[in-house]
Structure 1
Amino acid sequence: MSRRFFDPQPFQAGQPIALGTGASQHIGRVLRMAPGDAVTLFNGSGGEWNAVIKAVDKKSVTVTPTVFIDRDRVPPLPVVLGLPLIKGERMDYAIQKATELGVAEIHLLETSRTEVRLKGDRESKKREHWHQVIVSACEQCGLNRPPRLAGIDTLAAFIDQASGLRLVAHPGEAPLGATALRGTERITLLTGPEGGFAPDELDAALTAGFQPFALGERVLRAETAPVALLAALWTLLDQ
Structure 2
Amino acid sequence: MPSMRRFFDDQEFHLDRSCQLGASPSQHIARVLRMSKGEEVVLFNGRGGEWRARLVAVDKKTVEVLPLAHDPVERTPPLAVTLGLPMIKGERMDYAIQKATELGVARIQILDTARCEVRLKGERQEKKREHWRQVAISACEQCGLNRPPEILTAMPLTNWLAGPLPGLKLIAHPGSEPFPTERLSTQSELTLLTGPEGGFDDDELDKAFEAGFSAFALGSRVLRAETAPVALLAALWAWLS
TM-score range, shorter chain: over 0.9
Hey, what's the Cα distance between the residues in 2 that align with 1:173 and 1:134? 35
Hey, what's the Cα distance between the residues in 2 that align with 1:140 and 1:164? 29
Change (3 A) 1:174 1:141: farther
The one-letter code sitting in structure 2 at the alignment partner of 1:182 is S
Aligned sequence identity (%) = 61
The one-letter code sitting in structure 2 at the alignment partner of 1:202 is L
Tell me by how many angstroms 1:72 deviates: 2.2
Q: Which residue of 1 aligns with 2:156?
A: 154
- What TM-score, normalized by structure 2, do the two folds share? 0.96
Q: State the aligned residue count.
A: 238
Partner-residue secondary structure (3-state), 1:181: helix
Verify the 8 A CA contact 2:126 2:153 in the aligned structure 1. Answer: no
CA-to-aligned-CA distance 1:109-136 (integer Å, 9 cap, x gap) = 0000011100122112111111110110
Q: Which residue of 1 aligns with 2:209?
A: 206
Q: Which residue of 2 aligns with 1:19?
A: 21
Spell out the pairing of 1:78-117 with structure 2 (5 A cutoff).
Answer: 78-117=80-119
- What TM-score, normalized by structure 1, do the two folds share? 0.97
Q: Which residue of 2 aligns with 1:121?
A: 123
Partner-residue secondary structure (3-state), 1:132: helix
The one-letter code sitting in structure 2 at the alignment partner of 1:141 is C
The one-letter code sitting in structure 2 at the alignment partner of 1:82 is G
Change (3 A) 1:78 1:192: same
Tell me by how many angstroms 1:174 deviates: 5.1
Q: Which residue of 2 aligns with 1:40?
A: 42
Q: Which residue of 2 aligns with 1:66?
A: 68
Change (3 A) 1:8 1:2: same
Unaligned residue ranges in structure 2 (runs of 5+): none
CA-to-aligned-CA distance 1:19-67 (integer Å, 9 cap, x gap) = 0000000000000000110100001111100000001012100010000
Hey, what's the Cα distance between the residues in 2 that align with 1:72 and 1:19? 23
Partner-residue secondary structure (3-state), 2:155: strand
Unaligned residue ranges in structure 1 (runs of 5+): none
Partner-residue secondary structure (3-state), 2:182: coil
CA-to-aligned-CA distance 1:74-103 (integer Å, 9 cap, x gap) = 001100000000000000000000000000
Q: Which residue of 1 aligns with 2:179?
A: 176
The one-letter code sitting in structure 2 at the alignment partner of 1:235 is A
Verify the 8 A CA contact 1:166 1:210 in the aligned structure 2. Answer: yes
Q: Could you say what the CA RMSD is over the residues aligned between the two structures, in angstroms?
A: 1.1
CA-to-aligned-CA distance 1:6-29 (integer Å, 9 cap, x gap) = 000000010111100000000000
Verify the 8 A CA contact 1:100 1:137 in the aligned structure 2. Answer: yes
